[in-house]
Amino acid sequence: MRAGRLIVFEGAEGAGKSTQIRLLLERLQSEGVPCVAFREPGGTPVGDAIREILLDPAREITPATESLLFMASRAELIASKVRPAIAEGLVVILDRFFLSTYAYQIAGRGLPEADVRAANHLATGGVVPDITLLLDISAKEGLERAAKRGGRDRMERTGGGFHERINQAFAQFSGAEWQRAHPECGRIVRINGAASETDVAREIEHALSDILQTS
């Protein structure tokens, strides 16, 4: 049986994750590779309901509640979708995973790292991505891209240096020292999200070459 894989796409708002996930899915499907993609929060009926709550710009949510809602959606997704798909030998692609929680809730909201990591361990049950592709883009450019989509959600509307702190955290995540201290995150590869769509896709293809050869 083909070995399943878990590939995660991460990055700040407007980094281009959705576009690159679509391109990767199209490429894998054309090559006959069984694959499936999910987004966080969401991917299950419970997760989709949580997503509506989290992104509703009319809601006020405390940082701890926000973090736990993300974790609840993640726990449901891992148990009901991700683990079974990997067991069946599929390549699973996630649009966001727990690096976003570390960036948004620890760096952005200021929650204690130890508490968030413990909650994440409970939610994931020890699932570690084979690779995380971190699309790097400046907060300014990313928010400008996101604004063009219209209808900014609750997370995108947060100000007060929130998105700068997130960008600084993502930049730290790609460092070797940070990765050694956070083995639960697996291998993280920085991708230049500011490059052209074609160049980003080419860089992603190169980063995945060893993983997909053995999948």
Least confident range from 34-38, 153-157, 173-177, 204-208: namely: 153-157
Domain 5-213 sits in CATH 3.40.50.300: yes
119, pLDDT greater than 60? yes
Both tokens of 44, joined, read 């299950």
pLDDT digit string, tens, across residues 126-155: 999 999 999 998 767 766 776 676 666 777
Predicted local distance difference test score (pLDDT) of residue 142: 65
Given CA atoms 7, 125, 99, 158 in this order, what sign does their dihedral have?
A: positive
Mean pLDDT for the stretch of residues 69-94: 97
Element spanning 91, H or E:
strand 91-95
Mean pLDDT of the chain: 91
**CB of 174 within 8 A of CB of 188?**
yes
pLDDT above 70 (res 1): no
Neighbours of 52 (CB within 10 A): 12
- Whole-prediction pTM value? 0.91
The token duo for 3 is: 């070995």
Higher pLDDT pick, 146 / 167: 167
Model confidence pLDDT, tens digit, residues 95-106:
999 899 999 999
Q: Quote the pLDDT of residue 215.
A: 43
